Structure 1
Amino acid sequence: MYISVWDTYVQRQDGKVMHFDILVPHDLKDTSKIFSFGKDYLQSKPFKTGELTSRECQFCHIEKASEEVIASINNKGYFILEMQNCN
């Protein structure tokens, strides 16, 4: 399975910037759906964050998915790859 990687940077209320990738099937082009995945992820955090819009989240590239990513996409439609300041 090939996936699209959406590079995302969101300001936290404490001033730190979260960096994470939203991974979705490569043929998913509906940005409102992709952004909703990121918003769902942000709501799961115990701290407040800024908005997630096209300014914070942009398409980066397409790559081949790992088994872990495929399982998550099959289960909930997306996978979040946490990079910086996500916890």
Structure 2
Amino acid sequence: MKVSVWDTYVSREDGKQMHFDILVPSDLKDENTIFNFGKSYLKSKPFATKGLTSKECRFCHVEQASESIEEAIRSKGYYIIEMENCN
């Protein structure tokens, strides 16, 4: 499965900046749906953030997903790769 990678940077209320990627099927083009996936992910965190808009989340590239990522996307609609200050 080809997936679109959306590079995302969100400010936490403690001053740190989160960096994570939202992976979605490459044929999903609706930005509001993608942003809502990111917002859903942020709600699962025990700390507050300052929000997520097109300013914080941008399309980066398309790549081939691994089997485990494909399974997660089929189940949930998206997959998050946590990179910085996500926990």
Q: Same fold (TM over 0.5)?
A: yes
Identity %: 67
Whichever residue aligns with residue 52 of structure 2, its letter is: L
State the partner residue of 2:61.
61
Deviation at 1:51? 1.1
Please, what is the CA RMSD of the aligned residues? Answer: 0.3
Q: Which runs of 5+ in 2 are unaligned?
A: none
Whichever residue aligns with residue 12 of structure 1, its letter is: R
Distance in structure 2 (CA, Å) of the matches to 1:21 and 1:11: 14
State the partner residue of 1:27.
27
Deviation at 1:4? 0.1
Deviation at 1:78? 0.2
TM-score, structure 1 as length reference:
0.99
1:31-46 pair list within 5 angstroms? 31-46=31-46
Q: Secondary structure at the match of 1:53?
A: coil
Deviation at 1:47? 0.2
State the partner residue of 2:2.
2
State the partner residue of 1:73.
73
Q: Secondary structure at the match of 1:63?
A: strand
Deviation at 1:68? 1.3
Stretches (4+) displaced over 3 A: none
